[in-house]
Amino acid sequence: MKEYLLTAGPTPVPERILLAMAAPMLYHRAPAFMECLKETTEGLKWLFQTKQLVLQLAGSGTAAMDAAVCNFLSKGDRALVVRGGKFGERWGKICQAYGVDCTFIDVEWGRSVDPQLVKQSLDKDPSIKAVYATASETSTGVKHDLEGIARVVRGRDGVLLCVDAITAIGVFDVPMDDWGLDVVCLGSQKALMLPPGLAMIAASEKAWAANAKATLPRFYLDLLREKKSQEKSETAFTPAVSLIVGLRESLRMLREETLEGVWARHDRLAKATRSAAGGLGLELFSSSPTNAITAIRVPGGIDGSAVVRTMKNRYGITIAGGQDHLKGKIVRIAHIGYFSEFDIVTAISGLEMTLSDLGYGIKPGSGVAAAQASFAQTRTSP
């Protein structure tokens, strides 16, 4: 059976990147790899829209999130954490693991946080040193108002804004420098179209000033040490050589498409997926949908877990289900990274057939027709 992967991570890897990664291994202290690292460093600055050095670490995106806490705070510092899904919750768990005192803004899953709640919390407690937020909450399909949060935070000299942009950068516009974001995290297995295992993190001058005073323990994720090495096109420890070689090819592909082209592609695929849900008579879960993934409520009487299982076992299509209290209640179809119109049409076809198999009455082709109509409206000339 042919397999189709439509999850928000890992995502499909283009053949062009796979072939680049299949080249003979480079020695990470040799000039050839140093040139590779230099190119990826410049490419990541372009992608993050920053003048700051974007550090490359061997680890998942969570390694970057971990580093975003332990490199900029001290034990007992206070942090404001926005929780509106699994990854917002992860910020809180990392902070608490390091002894950071957390104030939480709990947002109903499926909704975007109101930046005014961030302002109220900061006004109420001037001792808060950092705000931890999520740009694109994969577990719920929500795009948060990061620009609005940034407007609230950037004028406060003693407060950092640390952002999980792991399913945001390369999907929609997240201009680090223009918005005044202080710490930004990314993972390889999302819009960069790479296998998992490479984390990227950038910090503002404001964040590096906080780093000089931060006392939380760190060793492998010591960003200052990595900064000193990577400024010389070296790494402090053995890097994920093959992934960085793949990253070079990924960034070349994205540059060829342009940032605006990348954002437009994700917007086009997301709109078609949302239109397909409407064509099937299904509701979106998110009131502020992200272009990375579409979360769809399953109809009454249908088990969302059975939808995921049937699509995988019968049709070879892997999508994601709901997590925690959303288990069985939603399904999530990704369109982040190496996806095209036909991938979306395939996923919607599989969803239609699966719902029919599970006894939900639909008009065959109604979702696909809605997706095709959406594509027809947004397709550019060849």
- Paired tokens of 191: 């819009």
Structural domain of 273: 258-378
d(CA 214, CA 21): 37
Flag whether 2 is in a domain: no
Same domain for 313 and 282, yes or no, is yes
Same domain for 193 and 330, yes or no, is no
Per-residue pLDDT, 382: 56
Greatest Cα pair distance in the chain: 62
pLDDT tens across 71-95, in order?
999 999 999 999 999 999 999 999 9
Give the DSSP letter of residue 174. -
| Domain CATH for 366 | 3.90.1150.10
Mean pLDDT by runs of 10 across the 382 residues of the chain is 95 98 97 98 98 98 98 97 97 98 97 98 97 98 98 95 98 98 98 98 98 98 98 97 98 98 98 98 97 96 96 98 96 98 97 96 94 89 53
pTM, whole model, 2 decimals? 0.96
Q: Determine the straight-line distance between the first and last CA of the chain, rounded to whole angstroms.
A: 32
The residue ranges of DSSP E strands in the chain, in sequence order, are 4-5, 54-58, 78-83, 101-106, 128-134, 136-137, 142-143, 160-164, 183-187, 198-203, 293-297, 317-318, 320-321, 330-334
Give the DSSP letter of residue 191. T
pLDDT tens across 297-316, in order?
999 899 999 999 999 999 99
Flag whether 228 is in a domain: yes
Same domain for 90 and 238, yes or no, is yes
Instruction: Out of 238, 256, 274, pick the residue that ends a domain.
Output: 256
Is the distance from CB of 177 to CB of 208 less than 8 angstroms?
no
